């Protein structure tokens, strides 16, 4: 699986793209806390835009995919 840094580095500043649990080799239970932090504080080199996609796991809604926009901030 690709690392988060590899995925972000491939994008040009201003590009909009998707980061999913599957892309990072994580299950939704592992991805959700990361995505929640990104929603609040932004991620390394990107900001979340739009509404995150959620998946139901054992009756709980967990973030499984986010749409982000690449910033010029360092990774």
Quote the tokens at residue 43. 């991620």
pLDDT of 74 above 80: no
Task: Give pLDDT, residue 21.
Answer: 96
Task: Give pLDDT, residue 72.
Answer: 84
Closest CA to 22 of 38, 13, 12, 35: 35
Contacts of 50-56 spanning 24+ positions with Cβ under 8 A: 53/20, 55/28
How far apart (Å, rounded) are the C-alpha atoms in residues 48 and 19?
Answer: 10
pLDDT of 75 above 70: no
How far apart (Å, rounded) are the C-alpha atoms in residues 46 and 73?
Answer: 8
Q: What is the pLDDT of residues 18-66, one digit of tens each?
A: 999 999 999 999 999 999 999 999 999 999 999 999 999 999 999 999 9
């Amino acid at each position: 699986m690709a690392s988060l840094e590899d995925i972000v580095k491939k994008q040009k500043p201003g590009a909009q793209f998707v980061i999913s649990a599957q892309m990072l080799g994580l299950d939704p239970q592992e991805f959700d806390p990361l995505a929640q932090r990104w929603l609040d504080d932004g991620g390394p080199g990107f900001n979340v835009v739009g509404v995150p996609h959620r998946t139901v796991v054992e009756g709980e809604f967990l973030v499984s995919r986010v749409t982000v926009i690449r910033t010029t901030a360092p990774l």
